[in-house]
Structure formats: structure tokens, C-alpha cells
Chains A and B, each alone.
Chain A
């Protein structure tokens, strides 16, 4: 809400010593937050004066334009008193008009310096200004022509145009709809600023009593439209200009002046907070009827949009059909125009909820709708309509029709019962009941009782309905800035949960392993999943869809972290980071067949069964860990060449994380997108596949702009976190000597090393302390289709030194089992 300061002080007196900064600081502290103070004329310096056009000679130019060579009387403002010669390209004026002249030496907004310069064969000594050139709106239609009585030539024009004004912008909270008006702001000044006085309520005026002579109005839906006031004027001059002060104030408020009739309705809305609608009365056919629309009825609103209405929309109709979306936007058929001479003024009170729904349904945000949906004073319809009628006839002539239609009565305000000490108890401040009552009365409430207060809010405060509402009023007027700072003492807490600690550990482990954490958006689309090469029936293709995604290309909640990670990796590679390792730990969304989440009551705690139903309606959202690495895992340097990342680095990164949780993961070959079908490991915790790791499919690398042989992994951390080892018993070690045995076994290339190792382990028996595969050889010495696996076995007994031959026997037993299971032959 923007307003010139002078408009506020029209309704309330502020002591002279209170500066604008102090005034706005005080209002900010009581709830009208200062958004900014603008001075439209601040950028204009130098002489800007009233000029009277003495002569104007149209001179056609070669370029097809016609310019006017003018002489303008600016009195002594130019130092000489001689008429000023000025070239002007506009044509919307005539000799004798008062115009705005900036003289040489002046500077206009944008640092535009004015000097006498030669143009079109004349020396043009200054400029005749348009509103746009002065920074007053974007009207380029011509220069400003001041009203004939605006002032004298040579006079400083700034005060006439409001250029010396400070325009204050307030941020209005949704519960303070009353402050969307000068009436409300002035009232806030009265209660907030010390020394402010003399509040003059613009909605407090004598209005003529209702009679039967007015335009007939029938309200069929009293709940939707409790009050409908109609007044009429005739003989109105549609060409009458809007008075400068009204135009300036509307402009300051951010509304474009359009015509006197429209401007006055907007002006009174800003003044009182009550939205007004004006109809061209000659276009109305028969009585006005207010009702709910019938499903599917249509209306073309003022903005030219054809709308299909819902049975919940409140409409204004006449014999021709629907002529307006009540309280939200009027219709085109009865719109006021440049030929309107009879105006029917509607000031009606509408049901706020209905306004909100209609606005949302039709995506209309209007100044009227904004006020109507937040709550307006229901008692000022007659006053507001009367004010409109007064202003229209004052500036546009015509006669006020004696008919005064008033249908309905304003709803009464509720009585709020609240403990007199509630504000004190809630704030922690020492607020006496007297102070609380005084604060409530200051904002317009009627208060009775002691100990327990009966509070009736004023009609402009429909937001006050509960004890907490009146409590807030009291505390904000006492001052939020007086609330002391007291640290509450929590009972001893349990600290971070184990899962929270483990999640941190996972992040640190990954960073320790050289991976950089990234955060990505969880939105995904088919193109992403196609780029991963997921087959049509891959469950990861089933995503939870958003009704209103930001991008139609990513309408789903992702089931996998990989698309975003691969995109991120590709972007980094594109920026020159050709070797990188990134990871993310974030939830993914896995839809499941579920019913709707019920909308439960709010007047009691839902039952456990009801809460259960809420949770059952939600998708699974397991925490995943994803990683992508590309290029060199170890850099080249003086130590030698770099080492390109391999599938094994991806597997090992996941195993390192599992290890940090006290878990060991097994691997087995897998053929899963987006991995290379021959270089992908399924990662298993026991028998459960918790994820996959390996080299990416070459096509995936290409699709995401990654170097060949890039790797990736994704695991479900929920399973790992669930099984993370909590209390580990301390190990005990044998102090007896170790016996080492190495074996090299030749197997078919297709035999998994893990299977050979498992067989060795089993065959070696209890004395085996550890086993480690330390070399893989393929080549001539083992023949085609074969590979040699070299294992280092360590044997040790817990209670004695091994006897000669014992470890060799265990080794032979191990080789035997490996041979039986895997066809391994010792080299």
C-alpha cells in the first residue's frame, strides 16, 4: 500500500517534530512495516516551472514528423522575463495552455541534463515535459497540460505535481486489511504515534436514508452479500478531467488514472477501504439481482477475459444476464466508458471466503478482490457510496438521483471473552488489565467486565475473532520492543539421534574419500530417465507427478539421485572440471498404491488411526546416497601418471560408507541401467540388494557430457542406517606367530573372484585369519579364457604356535574346496 504522506495527514494530525522516519519507524514497530519511502521528484534538479504557451508554429520536417516551434511565458524564471523558445514534438496542447517547462540547467530523472541546443533549425531553450519524462508513470501520450487555474507562469511546478511529496509504501499483513486504506493507516498513526490526534474518519458522514426510489436490487444470497447499496447520478460529464490531486494520489498508490468516474471509485476505495463498482446506468436492464452463478454460465470481465463460472461464484445480474463477478471484477457489458453520463454506484459487502475462492478459481488478483477477501468494514457501504456520488458530481457535474437503495444489514461483530491478564501471561511483560483495556479501546474495541473481559471488535476489524487476536493487539501497542529476553530452560535433551549422527558420519566419510557434496532439485522428467537408459518397465520410471511443476520437462519427483548428479557432473565437466567426484545424500520419492490423505478435523486431536491414514497416503521417501566420478581419481604429478577412475572406485566408495556404519557389503554382477552391463555390481547387505555401483554405460556418459569410463553408484541408505552396527564388542588378538601362504589359482574367466575367495575361506577352516586377493593375471601363461587369481592367506591359532605343515595343510584344503566349487587349479 503506497500513499503520499500528505494524504495520511489529511485524516490525522501528526506533531510537527515527528519526522517521516520517526513516523514510519513507529508504525513499523506496531505492525505497519515500512517497505520504502520514495520521492518522485528527488531525481529532478534545477528550474522546473509553470509555463504559458504563447505561440506554437507547426513545422513539418523532412523526416515526416511535424514539430511545434513554441514560445512560452515563464515569467522571470529564465532570468530575463522574455518568452522562452522551445521546440516540442507533442501536439496535445494549444496556445494559452499551462504546461510544465524544464529550463536549461535542469536535470530530469535518469540524469537527463537540459541545455539550450540547436535542433530543427531553432535554438530550443528547454523542454516542455510529459508525465513520463518527469518519472510520473508511463504515459507518453503527450505533454502535461495543467488545469487553467493551476498556477502562474514561472512558478515552481513541483508542489502542483506532487513532486515534492514523500510517498510511503507499507507492507500490509493479510490480517490487517483495514490498513489497505487511508482510513486504516491514519487510525494506526493515531494509536501508534505519540502526540498524534484529531482523527477524521473519512467513512463517518451523514448519508441520506434509504428509500424505495433507488435502482431496484434483489439479493438472493444474503450470506454471500449481506449489504448492497446502490446510488445513481445522471447528467454526468464523461469528459470532465480527474482533479490533479486525485490523479496524483492514485498514481502514487500505483494505480493508473483512467477517467474521472473510474478514478473516483478507486480513490474512495483507497480512502475508505471499501471497494466500489460503477456501472453505466443506461446500459443496465431492469433490476439488479445478486445470486450464485449456475455452473457453466459465462461472463466476459472488464479485463476482456471470457470466464466460465462455477456455482460458488457470486454474480451480479440484470435482465440481460450476468453483468459482474460480485466483489471481484465487473463485466464488459455495463462498463463505464467515455460516453457514460449516468453512473450506478455499487457499494456492497461480500462474503470474504467466497471472494477468496472466486479470485483463486479465476486467477484474478484485483485491488477490490484483495480487500474483499481479507475483510472490509461492512458498515460503511452507504458512506462510501455517498462519498463517490459527492466526488463525481463535484468534479463531473450532473445530479444525484434521490433514490437510495440499501439492501440488507451489516453482520454484527462477535464478542470475544478474554482474561484480563492474558496479554501479560503471553508476553512475559507486566501489562495491567487497565493497560490492556486501554489498548483495546484505542484500536476501536468495546470492552466491558473486569478480570474476564468482554471485547467487541470494531466493524473494520473482522480479523479479531479470538482471545489470541485481542492479545496480539494489546502486546503490539505496548510494544514488541519492550519484551525481555529470557532463555527457557529445556529439560536435559537426548542430543542428536543415532540416525542423525550416522548421516553426518556418511557425509564426512564421503568428503574424506575425496567426494564433493552437492545439493540438487528433486524434479525429474522422462527425458532424464530416457538418458539413463532405463527400460520401459523399470520401476524408477514410476514417479509421483506434480500437478503444477515449474517445468513441464520435469513434472515428477525423482526416484533416483542419478539424473541430477549426472547433469551436475556434466555441467562441471563443461566448465573445465574434467576430473571430479561428487555425491549427494537426499531422499527420493517412491510412489506406492495409496488412498488419499484425509483432511482431518482441527477442533480435536486426530485419532491414531486417522494419523496412520495420513502417513499411509504418503509415498516412501527413502534416503539415498548417490555418487558420480569422472576423469582421474588420482591426479598425474611428479610422482607419475594419474589413475583414471574405475568401476572399483565407485564400489569402494560405497563400501567405505558401509564400513563407517560397521557394515560389509558383498557384490555380485548386475546388469542395471545406467551402468555398463559388464561393469556393474549389485551391492548386497546379506541377501538384500541395497544399491548398485560401477562404470556408466558409454551411451550415458555421452548423454550427460561425461568423459568415457565415468562411474556412479546409488544406494538406499535407509537399509544401511537400520542395520548400522551399534555396540561392537572389543576384538581379541592372538599373540602367536602368523603363518603366511600364497596360492595362485587358475579359473575360467567367467568365475567370480568372490566365489573363489569364499570357497578358499571355507576350505581353509578355523585357522585362517585373513585372505586377500592380491593379483589377477591373464595371458599366455594361463591360456585363453582363463585367469590366475593370487591370494595371500594368513593363518594363526588363538592359543598356540602352529606346527610345521599345519598352515600348508589348511592351504591345501582351501585349494581343494576352491577346485571343487569353481574348477580352480593351483598354478
Chain B
């Protein structure tokens, strides 16, 4: 609190002098706008707004004035200080913005530099193709069934109407395990999974069985001792070849594009009868002007797999009443489907593990 104001002549007191207050104000504002950076502004603040600044000192003197003079002086000094503070705040914002802008410019980097500190991983295209196929079936309400790769001979052959003396056994060159009288093979097809499914579940059965299979084929551009198949099996009441055709047309259109359908040609498989080869319409030329098409080699169609109506003998061996239920089955190569879907002419890259091959497909196909 100020003491009695006896020492000062009110007229002599600075706040009362309008021109001096204005000069203080103007000096402060000039200094503020002249401050080149935030550091300088800090000094200016001390000089012109700080406790020892002329305006602060003037303000302090107001209390010593006689009451009748206080109002005027207070207003004058208050306005001056307000103007200075405003200028200071504005300059502060301005300088901060300038500073930030400069800093950001200075911190600019070359964003075209490589960023591959850690190499990308990828999944194998056959895994991806298998999953893609599985997803199509799952979307149809089917389930995905699986079984062992090293399989009982009975399940790989006999249960599928391939008796020990069936000529068709020579169609599939089988890897046998030792001792031979244990009747254990590397499955030559994923059909034993179908048999297992029928043996353990009651119709209606709607399953697809993707998996690896084995044949004693020498390894070359079009043969591999191990490859991948997907088979489908439906056992229900009133199932016909029309349902088979519908399912395969759907799979074809999902895998190869809208409007891609299939055609059947009579064939022979012990597991099914009637049996058919299924060709898929060439998804490149669509059967129009096929002559120069490299994908289907001018055929308009691509051999895709085999299919047919489940042989009643198979139903019987698997405990399903052929008088009540009928079914269809089909199978095709996953590798083969992948090969023509992605125009790969030699299958060996699929099994040679060159990281450049898998990497080319990333994690989705």
C-alpha cells in the first residue's frame, strides 16, 4: 500500500503527462515490432513491460495521486499498457509462427530415401491360392476338411472303388512305404479325406479338401512328385450332375472372373460314375478368337480337373445309404489352377524356394 502522497506534486507526476505516457507507449511498441526474434522479444518485454519498465513505474505512481487525478492518469496509463501488451502478444504469435516455419524448413529431409530397413516377408503363392479356394467354398456354406498325407492304402484306394486289381491304380503312380505289407501310402489324391469325412459325418455333407498329394512322377516343368489338389464333395438328398455343374461354374467364376464357366466331357474315375473331365472357359480369350491365345493354346477351354457323381459303391463302403443319398465330387490341381491363373509355364519355381518367387506375390493373390 502506498503511503500518503505528500512528496509529489501531482502536476509533476509522469502519469499525468499525456505526452510522456504516449512516448513510453510508442517506444515500447516500436521496440516490440523491431524485435527480430523471440529472444529479442524477451528482452523487449523486460524493458517495456517488466516491473522496472517506464510504464510499470508510471503505473505505480498513480496510487500517489490525489483521488481527483487518479482516474485520468489511471485511464491513460492503463490504455498505454494495454496497447503495449497487445502488441507484445501479437508479436509473440508472429515470431513463434516464423520460428516454427523456419524450423520446419530446416528439418526437411529427403523422403525419397529408401526405407527398407527390414525386408518384407511373404507367403507362398500356393498357400494363398489354397486359402483363396477355401474361402470361396466357405462362402458357399461348405466346410474345409483335412486328413493325413501318409495314408492307409484302404482309404486312398479301396474305399474309393479302386480295388487292388483295378487298372486305374496304374493311372496313379503311388509312393509306398516300408514295409509294403503295412499298406501305407503317400496319398495320391485328397480323396481319402472325402472318405474320412463320409465315414465320420452324416449327410448333408458339403466339404472341400485342399492339400498336398504325391505321385512318383519325375520332377520336370509339368510334373512334380508333390503337388496340391482341392477336391469337393457333396452328399445330400436329390443331388444331381446339375448341382455339380453349378458348383464348378461358381468356383470358376469366383477364381477366374465373372462369366467364366465350365464344360463337361465324359471320362472315367473309379470314385465317380458318371464321370467327367471338367474344362474351364479360357479366362483370357473367353473362347472368342482363341486361335492366337497362349493361355488355352487356341482351344478356348483349359483342362481343369475331374468330377462326377459319387459311385454308389463308394457310398456303401463309407456307410452312406445310396438309396437315400446321392452326391458329387470333383478335384483339380491347385498348382495347375495357379499356373494358368498367373501364366506360369514351369511349375518348378513353386517348389524351389527362391525367395524372389514368393516375394513377388506378397501376402495376397
**A interface with B by C-beta (< 8 Å):** 28-31, 33, 173-176, 352-353, 356-357, 360, 373-374, 425-429, 466-469, 471-472, 475-476, 480-481, 483-497, 500, 504, 507-508, 510-523, 544-550, 557, 568, 571-572, 575, 577, 579-582, 586-587, 589, 594-606, 611, 614-615, 617-619, 621, 633-635, 637-639
- Is A545's CB under 8 angstroms from B158's CB? no
Residues of B within 8 A of A572 (CB): 353-355
- Is A638's CB under 8 angstroms from B175's CB? no
Residues of B within 8 A of A545 (CB): 177-178
Surface stretch bound by A, among B81-89, B146-154, B283-291: B146-154
Residues of B within 8 A of A485 (CB): 242, 245-246, 249, 261
Residues of A within 8 A of B317 (CB): 601-605
A–B pairs, 19, beta carbons within 8 Å: A468-B309, A475-B241, A485-B242, A485-B261, A487-B243, A487-B246, A493-B138, A516-B359, A519-B353, A546-B178, A557-B150, A568-B352, A575-B354, A587-B148, A596-B181, A598-B183, A600-B158, A602-B313, A639-B117
- Is B177's CB under 8 angstroms from A599's CB? no
B344 to chain A, nearest CB (A): 14
Known: A483-B245, A486-B242. A597 touches B119 (CB 8 A): no
- Is A513's CB under 8 angstroms from B152's CB? no
Residues of B within 8 A of A597 (CB): 152-154, 182-184
Residues of A within 8 A of B363 (CB): 508, 511
A615 to chain B, nearest CB (A): 8
Known: A472-B266, A546-B176. A595 touches B143 (CB 8 A): no
Q: In the assembly, what is the distance between CA of A575 and CA of B353, in Å?
A: 12
Of all chain B residues, which has the CB nearest A177? B167
- Is A602's CB under 8 angstroms from B159's CB? yes
- Is B167's CB under 8 angstroms from A373's CB? yes
Count residues of chain B with CB under 8 A from any CB of chain A: 103
Known: A547-B178, A577-B355, A599-B183. A426 touches B267 (CB 8 A): no
A478 to chain B, nearest CB (A): 11
Residues of A within 8 A of B354 (CB): 571-572, 575
Of all chain B residues, which has the CB nearest A603? B316
Binary flags per residue of B170-213, CB closer than 8 Å to A gives 1, else 0 = 11000111111111101000000000000100001010000010
- Is A587's CB under 8 angstroms from B274's CB? no
Of all chain A residues, which has the CB nearest B335? A519
- Is A618's CB under 8 angstroms from B273's CB? no
Residues of A within 8 A of B325 (CB): none
- Is A547's CB under 8 angstroms from B141's CB? no
- Is A492's CB under 8 angstroms from B351's CB? no
Known: A480-B265, A520-B351, A606-B199. A488 touches B243 (CB 8 A): yes
- Is A618's CB under 8 angstroms from B152's CB? yes
**B interface with A by C-beta (< 8 Å):** 113-114, 116-124, 126-127, 131, 134, 138, 140-144, 146, 148-155, 158-159, 161, 163-165, 167-168, 170-171, 175-184, 186, 199, 204, 206, 212, 216, 218-219, 225-226, 234, 236, 239-243, 245-247, 249-250, 261, 263-268, 273-277, 309, 311-313, 316-319, 326, 350-356, 358-359, 363
Q: In the assembly, what is the distance between CA of A475 and CA of B264, in Å?
A: 11
Contact of A517 among B124, B141, B261 (CB under 8 A): B124
- Is A471's CB under 8 angstroms from B180's CB? no
Known: A507-B123, A597-B152, A603-B316. A500 touches B144 (CB 8 A): yes
Contact of A557 among B120, B177, B268, B312 (CB under 8 A): B177
Q: In the assembly, what is the distance between CA of A517 and CA of B129, in Å?
A: 13
A486 to chain B, nearest CB (A): 4
B222 to chain A, nearest CB (A): 16
- Is A519's CB under 8 angstroms from B126's CB? yes
Residues of B within 8 A of A575 (CB): 354
- Is B243's CB under 8 angstroms from A580's CB? no
Contact of B236 among A30, A175, A488, A508 (CB under 8 A): A488
Residues of A within 8 A of B138 (CB): 493, 495-496
Residues of A within 8 A of B263 (CB): 480-481
Residues of A within 8 A of B149 (CB): 522, 587, 589, 621
Q: Which 10 interchain pairs have the tightest Cβ spacing?
A: A605-B319, A428-B242, A428-B240, A31-B266, A568-B353, A490-B141, A518-B353, A472-B274, A173-B268, A511-B121
- Is B266's CB under 8 angstroms from A599's CB? no
Q: In the assembly, what is the distance between CA of A637 and CA of B165, in Å?
A: 65
- Is B226's CB under 8 angstroms from A521's CB? yes
Interface of B is mostly: mixed
Q: In the assembly, what is the distance between CA of A373 and CA of B183, in Å?
A: 24
Q: In the assembly, what is the distance between CA of A571 and CA of B318, in Å?
A: 46
- Is A472's CB under 8 angstroms from B122's CB? no
- Is A374's CB under 8 angstroms from B175's CB? no
- Is A428's CB under 8 angstroms from B152's CB? no
- Is B355's CB under 8 angstroms from A582's CB? yes
- Is A174's CB under 8 angstroms from B268's CB? yes
- Is B154's CB under 8 angstroms from A600's CB? yes
A758 to chain B, nearest CB (A): 31
- Is A599's CB under 8 angstroms from B158's CB? yes
- Is B241's CB under 8 angstroms from A550's CB? no
Q: In the assembly, what is the distance between CA of A480 and CA of B155, in Å?
A: 30
Of all chain B residues, which has the CB nearest A423? B274
Known: A31-B267, A480-B264. A617 touches B152 (CB 8 A): yes
Q: In the assembly, what is the distance between CA of A472 and CA of B241, in Å?
A: 11
B215 to chain A, nearest CB (A): 10
Known: A31-B265, A500-B144, A519-B353. A428 touches B313 (CB 8 A): no
Residues of A within 8 A of B236 (CB): 488
- Is A547's CB under 8 angstroms from B319's CB? no
Q: In the assembly, what is the distance between CA of A634 and CA of B236, in Å?
A: 55
Contact of B121 among A30, A466, A514, A601 (CB under 8 A): A514
Known: A492-B141, A493-B141, A548-B175. A33 touches B265 (CB 8 A): yes
A610 to chain B, nearest CB (A): 9
Q: In the assembly, what is the distance between CA of A493 and CA of B145, in Å?
A: 12
Known: A486-B243, A511-B363. A471 touches B274 (CB 8 A): yes
- Is A490's CB under 8 angstroms from B204's CB? yes
- Name, among B116, B123, B171, the residue most crowded by chain A CB atoms within 10 Å (CB to CB): B123
B108 to chain A, nearest CB (A): 15
- Is B121's CB under 8 angstroms from A426's CB? no
Residues of A within 8 A of B265 (CB): 28-29, 31, 33, 480
Q: In the assembly, what is the distance between CA of A601 and CA of B140, in Å?
A: 34
Q: In the assembly, what is the distance between CA of A119 and CA of B182, in Å?
A: 70
Q: In the assembly, what is the distance between CA of A484 and CA of B245, in Å?
A: 7
Of all chain B residues, which has the CB nearest A587? B149
Residues of A within 8 A of B245 (CB): 483-486
Q: In the assembly, what is the distance between CA of A475 and CA of B274, in Å?
A: 8
- Is B152's CB under 8 angstroms from A637's CB? no
Residues of A within 8 A of B161 (CB): 602
Q: In the assembly, what is the distance between CA of A4 and CA of B57, in Å?
A: 123
Q: In the assembly, what is the distance between CA of A329 and CA of B343, in Å?
A: 45
Q: In the assembly, what is the distance between CA of A573 and CA of B225, in Å?
A: 25
Of all chain B residues, which has the CB nearest A518? B353
Residues of B within 8 A of A605 (CB): 199, 316-319
A749 to chain B, nearest CB (A): 31
Residues of A within 8 A of B151 (CB): 618
Residues of B within 8 A of A484 (CB): 242, 245-246
Residues of B within 8 A of A557 (CB): 150, 177, 186
Residues of A within 8 A of B359 (CB): 516
Q: In the assembly, what is the distance between CA of A633 and CA of B118, in Å?
A: 7
- Is A518's CB under 8 angstroms from B358's CB? yes
- Is A634's CB under 8 angstroms from B117's CB? yes
B74 to chain A, nearest CB (A): 48
Of all chain A residues, which has the CB nearest B311? A468
- Is B275's CB under 8 angstroms from A472's CB? yes
Known: A28-B265, A487-B243, A512-B121. A360 touches B170 (CB 8 A): yes
- Is B358's CB under 8 angstroms from A427's CB? no
- Is B154's CB under 8 angstroms from A517's CB? no
Known: A472-B275, A600-B158, A602-B161. A491 touches B206 (CB 8 A): yes
Q: In the assembly, what is the distance between CA of A581 and CA of B117, in Å?
A: 14
- Is A513's CB under 8 angstroms from B121's CB? yes
Residues of B within 8 A of A634 (CB): 117-118
